[in-house]
């Protein structure tokens, strides 16, 4: 599968770039991590489904395709998607400068230097996955997403139209439970336009959608829209933040949010991701 002659596309990320750390996050279908690199299944213009193999030596990202009969146009589509998902042209220097003033961030940046969030290609995909993440274990989330991808996408992530036409009963066969109605509802919206709005505007729009609350909105902003100023609090974040920045005192969530806003500003979401990635070294 990972054959030299299938290699078709090279991407040159702005350094520093840690591909392996990002690859570890390729857990939800149709992303996959096989120990060597990232695999993703995509549907191309002809309707055919192809597998994309992505690996990196740390300097260059090389992309191979399972099918050699793929048009120039399809390759350009995929290049564009991957450049977005992998944040190929992201300059993290402003964040690293900010991190120098923070004892724990400094350590995290040194430990997981070059890490960027692996984003989903579409806001829609990010939103469906975020909804599948609600009130369940990550293991269950993986099953739900995999079922949706198999049943409605033939291995690729289903397009919104397909889910719009799906029945609630059909969706429930994917074990998404009460989330079926939410998923169907968001498949009718055009979420992609949010990419060109401000984070606050996008957040307000997302919160108006039935089934999307503060936590889900924050996840969508992070993984579907790559907004580094999207901060959220859950059990792990609460524990981490209290331990590192509040001397383990039982401070409120709003205190934590305020701290992040004041100290990390527009990078508070990314700062959080760095801390979470390096949690084992920090706690």
Partner DNA sequence: ACCCAGGCGGTTT
Partner DNA sequence: AAACCGCATGGG
Q: Which residues bind DNA (CB under 7 A)?
A: 133-140, 143, 172, 175-178, 209-217, 232, 234-237, 276
Tell me which residue of 64, 61, 27 sits closest to 42, measured CA to CA.
64
If the CB atoms of residues 3 and 139 are measured against DNA, the closer one turns out to be 139
If the CB atoms of residues 214 and 265 are measured against DNA, the closer one turns out to be 214
The least distance separating DNA from the CB of residue 78, rounded to whole angstroms, comes to 28
If the CB atoms of residues 56 and 216 are measured against DNA, the closer one turns out to be 216
If the CB atoms of residues 43 and 238 are measured against DNA, the closer one turns out to be 238
The separation between CA 81 and the C-alpha centre of its own chain, rounded to angstroms, equals 13
Q: Rg of the chain over CA atoms, in angstroms?
A: 19
The least distance separating DNA from the CB of residue 196, rounded to whole angstroms, comes to 23
DSSP string, the chain: ---GGGEEEEE-PPSS--HHHHHTTTTSTTEEE-SSSEEEEEE-TTS-EEEEEEEE-SS-EEEEES-S---HHHHHHHHHHHHHHTTTT---HHHHHHHTT-HHHHHHHHHSTT------SSHHHHHHHHHHTTTS-HHHHHHHHHHHHHHHHBTBPPPHHHHHHS-HHHHHTTT-TTHHHHHHHHTTS--GGGGGS-HHHHHHHHHHSTT--HHHHHHHHHHTS--TT-----HHHHHHHHHHHSTT----HHHHHHHHHHHHGGGHHHHHHHHHHTHHHH-
- Which residue in this structure is represented by tokens 């989903």? 120
If the CB atoms of residues 63 and 144 are measured against DNA, the closer one turns out to be 144
Could you tell me which residues come within 8 angstroms of residue 178 by beta carbon, excluding any fewer than 6 positions away? none
- Which residue in this structure is represented by tokens 């331990």? 243
If the CB atoms of residues 236 and 246 are measured against DNA, the closer one turns out to be 236
The least distance separating DNA from the CB of residue 205, rounded to whole angstroms, comes to 13
The least distance separating DNA from the CB of residue 190, rounded to whole angstroms, comes to 18
If the CB atoms of residues 82 and 209 are measured against DNA, the closer one turns out to be 209
CA distance 269 to 229: 5
The least distance separating DNA from the CB of residue 72, rounded to whole angstroms, comes to 38
If the CB atoms of residues 56 and 134 are measured against DNA, the closer one turns out to be 134
The least distance separating DNA from the CB of residue 146, rounded to whole angstroms, comes to 12
The least distance separating DNA from the CB of residue 176, rounded to whole angstroms, comes to 7
The least distance separating DNA from the CB of residue 134, rounded to whole angstroms, comes to 4
């Amino acid at each position: 599968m990972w054959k030299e002659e299938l290699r078709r596309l090279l991407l040159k990320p702005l350094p520093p770039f840690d591909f392996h750390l990002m690859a570890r996050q390729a857990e939800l279908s149709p992303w996959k991590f096989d120990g060597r690199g990232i695999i993703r299944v995509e549907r191309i213009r002809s309707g055919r489904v192809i597998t994309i193999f992505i690996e990196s030596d740390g300097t260059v990202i090389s992309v191979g395709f399972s099918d050699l009969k793929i048009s120039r146009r399809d390759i350009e589509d995929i290049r564009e998607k991957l450049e977005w998902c992998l944040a190929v042209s992201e300059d993290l220097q402003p964040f690293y400068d900010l991190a120098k003033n923070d004892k724990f961030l400094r350590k995290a940046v040194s430990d997981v230097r070059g890490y960027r969030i692996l984003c989903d290609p579409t806001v829609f995909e990010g939103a469906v996955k975020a909804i599948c993440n609600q009130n369940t274990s990550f293991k269950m989330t993986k099953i739900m997403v995999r079922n949706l991808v198999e049943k409605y996408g033939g291995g690729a992530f289903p397009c919104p139209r397909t889910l719009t036409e799906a029945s609630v009963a059909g969706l429930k066969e994917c074990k998404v439970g009460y989330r079926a109605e939410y998923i169907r509802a968001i498949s009718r919206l055009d979420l992609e336009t949010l990419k060109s709005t401000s984070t606050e505007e996008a957040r307000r729009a997302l919160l108006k959608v039935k089934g999307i609350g503060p936590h889900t909105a924050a996840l969508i902003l992070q993984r579907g829209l790559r907004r580094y100023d999207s901060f959220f609090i859950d059990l792990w974040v609460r524990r981490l933040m209290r331990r590192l920045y509040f001397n383990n005192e039982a401070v409120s969530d709003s205190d934590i949010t305020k701290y992040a806003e004041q100290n990390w500003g527009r990078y508070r979401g990314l700062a959080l991701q760095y801390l979470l990635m390096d949690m084992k070294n920090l706690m």
